[in-house]
Amino acid sequence: MITLNVNNKNYEVDVDPNMPLLWAIRDVIGLTGTKYGCGVAQCGACTVHLDSEAVRSCVTRVSRAEGQKITTIEGLSENNDHPLQIAWNELSVPQCGYCHSGQLMSAAVLLRENPNPTDEDIDDAMAGNICRCGTYLRIRKAIHLAANMQKNGNTKG
Amino acid sequence: MKQPSEIKSPNILSVKKVLVISLMLCCIVIIASAFKQKINSPGIAIAVNIANDDSATSAQAFLQVYSVLMSPRCMNCHPAGNRPLQGDDNHIHTMNVQRGKDGKGLYALKCSNCHQAENTAGLHTPPGNPKWQLPPADMKMVFQGKSAHDLALQIMDYNRNGHKNKEQLLEHARDTLVKAGWNMGGDRTPPPLAYDDFVKAWDTWINNGGYAPPAK
Amino acid sequence: MIQGLKNKTTSRRNFLRSAGLTSTALFLGMYLPAGAKTSKVVNLGDDVDEDGIEMNPWVIIDTNGRVTLVSHRAEMGQGVYQSIPQIIAEELEVNLKDVHIKFAQGNGKKYGSQITGGSSTIRGSYKNLLKLSATARVMLIQAAANKWKVPLTECYAEAGNVFHKPSGKKYNYGELVTDASKLHVPDNVKLKERSEYKLIGKPLLRKDAALKTNGTAGFGLDKRVPGMLFACVERNPRLRGKVKSFDDSDARAIPGVKDVFKVTMKVFNTDREGVAVVATSTWAALQGRKALKVFWDDSGFEHINSTDIYQRHEDILKNKDGLVFKEQGDVNSIFSQASDKLDVIYQTPYESHAAMEPLNCVAYYQNDKIEIWGPIQAPDWVQDFISKEFNLPAEKVIVNMTFLGGGFGRKAFLDYPHEATLISKQIGVPVQVVWTREDDIMQGPFRPGMSYRCEGVVNNGKIDAFRMKLAGQNMDNFQSDDRSKPNESSSEGFLKPYFDSIKNISIQDVPFETPVPVMWWRSVYASTNGFAYESFMDELALAAGADPIEFRKQHLNNDRLHKQLDKLIEVSGWKNRKKNEGYGMAITECFESPVAQVVKVSKNPDGGIKVDHVWAVMDCGWYVNPDIIKAQVEGSIIMALGAATIHEITFKDGLPEQHNFYDYHMPRITDIPPIDVFVMDNDADAGGVGEPGLPAFSPALTNAIFDLTGKRIRKLPFSLAEI
């Protein structure tokens, strides 16, 4: 049995410690907001926070996550009110929506470490996340919007 | 046996001084070699100038070391720019990955977000090591584009090699991240020398004075 | 499915319950009486004879005033989740937030065509939706007027209520539905004028964004059914080979692996063989598959190489006449007399769809019933196909649509639900079949690689003769044995008014086949035709010494297109182009919507070409939500950018050479130029939105590169960095 702490809740999972965290989260724990996109750390759809870092859960073994704080898209905020989530909604960023769990989890690390990101900072943070629908321009705009909201204290952030 | 002196900054030593010291002590100061080299016409080996038998052995050994350092397994994380390289063709790492201040990437694209403590199984998956990173921004230790001559001087330069003294340099060949270059998984071509032969060449190079091969 | 009143009532109650509605409701649907041209609104509470009718979308208002639309089309990013409620709320006079969408199950008899393809969601249903909603509103007002015993003209509807103007009294819709449901359904209710719209035409926010930002949107891969197992399938990598044998001893030793067996699904009219590994988790199934050894028989079909494909295209384009799709005037005699004839070949690559959600499907085969859940673009086709394959009546095949994590045409095929059903049948429990990214990229069907031979003569600044011969795999050939007809889509993307101005024209299809399965990819043939037609048009404009946009206008005698091109000139600064800036334009049409684009490029200081800006002008006629339209055009342009400059599928010895995003690269945020999209306003019927923005981009880009460098790019993809 391995204990995984996901979104501040402990789960006892009986899995191969080499199983990628992605499948443990989706198939065993049953939180399906984290997506499978490529399985080889190329697309970022599976991004979760492991002790606050935006790791690719498709190549991160369960054994690495044991004893650490895992946050998935379901735990990014309590009421879908992280500044990024609000901005994503206000700019109608998603199309099919499949990649956006990962996009948001990546953007959240950027915004935490750099509350006023430039376009270049956004490039440096977000080029690991693929969006096949091509919502990139809106992602960029939404990150700027979220940064402004955070700065102006419009949300609890 | 000559003892290479403590590696010192070339900035604080004038060329003349260095020459004097090296002659007086009859001991090769590696950094001095660099400067001597610079003031000599290109193509002439330092060893010959200093009339030291070991310099040829040392410089020769470095050429072997150099073939390893320039292999993609080493060079890809010692790029000329601020982005790591990838693949046997040394293409710029996809995803716009950046060095970052500490050499560990930026924001959501930190090295260890994909590169695990161990290799991930399969082809084209991220190779891994607990220490996976680039040299930090204030000590870039660039390999890419460097001649054997320049790279040898750089590695022997305390101020450009991550502040390593001789012992630390010798130790560096035994570092687990360096060693990982021979086991990066997938179909990645290993460096051209076997690991043990690399260590042997590295030691030979340093223990015989850490000479730079001639500039071309 | 609905046979007689009793069954219908039961099914209606079940439906209402499953949709979370109260069991009394105003329950309106559309139907097209057999032989009739216009559809009628029908009260589904009545005992109507439904023989020979096709029901279209349903709108249900329950006694709580909750409005539910049963969407017969899928949401795959194109915005039906927002745009359809926007239409309904407008004519029904309710608050947008009170309109809820429920995805219909597959049922071609009831809903008519359900394929979410051909950019048809809105253009195919908006008139019905308007009529349906307006009819419901009129019935609710009538019910209120009857209750108050006042003239109908004194009542009006607003925000889910009916008001009596003189007295200020009101009823909310919930209080009226029981009475309204007993009323006769009026014919020909008056619809609002465009100027009266409060919601339609406004850039309102997408309703599904909330679900797609907190992990709650349910995609196919997220579907969970009690007792469900997971499966992966090792399919023949050359796509047409057979399983000779397999060794599953290591695979079965993987913890969690439950069974390993051969499975053969249908891909159009061919069989695709593979070996399925069924396990308790996706990971276990993947591990089992890795441990599996399959020996293939790859005899009996050609193992194709990409280089051979394009060489053969060129050979047949030079040496063979094609099947004639369009012929007018006398192209040959003009060509034979012309001193200067342009004669060039354009080529485009094979492509994978590579939607972010890899293919997947959950199926549960029970002896007398099959239920399917998945990201499915055409649930009615799946229902029809599965019922035939498994010999069950259609109503025993229940096909549920989830959200689609992208489709782009691939999720309109029937293979993956078929395979999932076969696996569930074998193992006897519900199974989710997961395609890996590699499966998704390498297993096809692909957009076919095409070659175009373009010949033309210009005289006095006008096109005198024009011949287009295309060689490439015809997508229809995988579904039909008829080889006598030319490819009907050989001019898709090309604006029809050109046919009026170019007197001598010939469009031919030179038949070409390989064993590689091919099928629709966003904007279908226009996605490749557009590159050839509109690049060549640029070459002809150059030969004529004309400005590229003016040249188009001269050959497109059509007011609507002229307005669109004038808008493009205005917004792109076409006439104020500066030195060292390359400007290129193109205009294409598909699915009833012409789109014109200008791309601006410059030389990158580090070498290569930089795309500085894209302007797109979309004319889709009547429209619902300009923001969704802009998003669709932005996305189409980015998808086109990828296919023009970043990725392609190639074959060697019959094997696709790309595997995953490490060698089938996608555009990333760092690759995207600023894009400005403008939507024309006019009274034309609604055209498509999801696809028409794609084809004009690549020719506009390469035309811009020519403008800057004098280098004409005739083969896609090419590298921007290497120019």
Residues C237-280: tens digit of each pLDDT: 999 999 999 999 999 999 999 999 999 999 988 999 999 999 99
Q: Does domain C1-213 have CATH number 3.40.50.10860?
A: no
The Cα A9–Cα C499 span in angstroms is: 66
Best of A14, A35, A38 to disrupt the C interface (most C CBs within 10 Å) is A38
CA distance B35 to A71: 55
Answer for the pair A17, A27: CB distance below 8 angstroms, yes or no. Answer: no
User: According to the model, what pLDDT value does residue C48 have?
Assistant: 43
Predicted confidence at residue C35, as pLDDT, reads: 59
Q: Measure CA of the first residue to CA of the last residue in chain A; give whole Å.
A: 35
Residue C340 token pair: 């200067």
**Closest in C662, C668, C670 to B124, CB measured:** C662
> Given pLDDT bands bounded at 50, 70 and 90, which one contains residue C100?
confident
Distance from CA of C440 to the nearest CA of B (A): 17
Tokens of C680: 């024309």
Tell me if A126 and C230 make a contact (CB, 8 A cut-off): no
Q: Is residue B124 part of a domain?
A: no
User: What proportions of chain C, in percent to the nearest 5, are helix, strand and coil?
Assistant: 35, 25, 40
Distance separating alpha carbons of residues C542 and C545, to the nearest angstrom: 5
Indicate the residue of A60, A106, A127 with minimum beta-carbon distance to B116.
A60
Question: E strands of A17-146, at which residues?
Answer: 47-50, 53-56, 69-71
Tell whether B53 is covered by a domain.
yes
Give the SS3 label for residue C103: strand
Domain range list for chain A? 2-75, 83-151
Which pairs count as long-range contacts for C568-572, CB under 8 Å and 24+ apart, including other chains? C568/C596, C568/C597, C568/C598, C568/C615, C568/C617, C571/C615, C571/C617, C571/C676, C571/C678, C572/C598, C572/C600, C572/C613, C572/C615
Helix axes C559-572, C548-555, angle to 10 degrees: 170
Query: Contact A37/C356, CB-based, under 8 Å?
Result: yes
Distance between CA atoms of C424 and C276, rounded to whole angstroms? 11
Alpha-helical segments (H) within C428-504? 437-442, 498-501
B-chain residues near A129 (CB < 8 A): 108
Report the number of distinct structural domains present in chain B.
Answer: 1
Q: Which residues of A touch B95 (CB under 8 A)?
A: 127-128
Closest-CA residue in chain B for A104?
Answer: B108
Distances (CA, A) of A132 to A129, A140, C641: 10, 15, 11
Put simply, the answer to whether C665 touches B96 (Cβ < 8 Å) is no
Per-residue model confidence as pLDDT tens digits over C452-499: 999 999 999 999 999 999 999 999 888 888 898 998 899 999 999 999
* Fold for the domain defined by C220-300+359-434: Aldehyde Oxidoreductase; domain 4 (3.30.365)
Tell me if B96 and A53 make a contact (CB, 8 A cut-off): no
Domain boundaries, chain C: 1-213, 220-300+359-434, 320-350+447-722
Report the gap between the CA of A131 and the closest CA in chain B (Å).
Answer: 13
Best of A106, A114, A124, A140 to disrupt the B interface (most B CBs within 10 Å) is A124
Residues of B in contact with A40 (CB under 8 A): 120, 122, 124-126
Better-scored residue on pLDDT, A110 or C39: A110
C537-575 burial, b for 16+ CB within 10 Å, e for fewer?
A: bbbbbbbbebebbebbbbbbebeebeebbebbbeebebe
- Report the pLDDT value the prediction gives residue C58, as an integer from 0 to 100: 72
Q: Which fold has domain A83-151?
A: DNA polymerase; domain 1 (1.10.150)
User: Taking the domain A2-75, which CATH number applies?
Assistant: 3.10.20.30
Fold match, C220-300+359-434 / C320-350+447-722:
yes
Separation in Å, CA of C658 to nearest CA in chain B: 12
Please measure the distance between the N-terminal and C-terminal CA atoms of chain C and give it in whole angstroms: 60
Please list the ranges in chain B whose pLDDT falls under 50: 1-51
* Residue C76's pLDDT band (cuts 50, 70, 90): confident
Residues of B in contact with A56 (CB under 8 A): 113-114
How long, in residues, is chain B? Answer: 216
Is the pLDDT at C383 greater than 60? The verdict is yes
SS3 C360: strand
State the residue range of the domain holding B146: 10-76+140-207
CATH class for domain C320-350+447-722?
alpha beta
What mean pLDDT is predicted for residues C390-414?
A: 95
Q: Which of B95, B123, B124 has the CB atom closest to C668's CB atom?
A: B95
Q: How far apart are CA C236 and CA A18, in angstroms?
A: 28
- Chain C hits for B95, Cβ within 8 Å: 668
DSSP at A28: I
Interface predicted TM-score (ipTM)? 0.97
Within a domain: B182: yes
- Round the average pLDDT of chain A to a whole number and report it: 96
Q: List the structure tokens of C171.
A: 């009823």
| Nearest by CB: B107 against A60, A64, A109 | A109
In C559-670, beta strands by DSSP E? 582-590, 593-603, 609-618, 651-652, 655-656
Q: What is the DSSP string of C227-272?
A: T-EEEEEEE-TTSS-EEEEEE-HHHHHSTTEEEEEEEEEEETTEEE
Cross-chain Cβ contact C215/A131 below 8 Å: no
Q: Which residues of B touch A128 (CB under 8 A)?
A: 95-97, 108-109, 113-114
Instruction: Give the distance between the most distant pair of CA atoms in chain B.
Output: 58
Verify whether the Cβ–Cβ distance C665 to B94 is below 8 Å: yes
Binding-site residues on chain B for chain C (CB distance < 8 A)? 94-96, 123-124
What average pLDDT does the structure give for chain C?
A: 91
Residue B173 within any structural domain of the chain: yes
In degrees and rounded to multiples of 5, residue B145 shows phi and psi of 85, 0
Region C219-245: what's the mean pLDDT?
A: 97
User: Contact B124/C663, CB-based, under 8 Å?
Assistant: yes
Probe site for chain A from B107, B118, B187 (most A CB atoms < 10 A) = B107
Give the count of Cβ contacts less than 8 A between chain B and C. 11
Confidence of residue C81 (pLDDT cuts 50, 70, 90): confident
Residues of B in contact with A42 (CB under 8 A): 94
Residue of A nearest to C255 (CA): A16
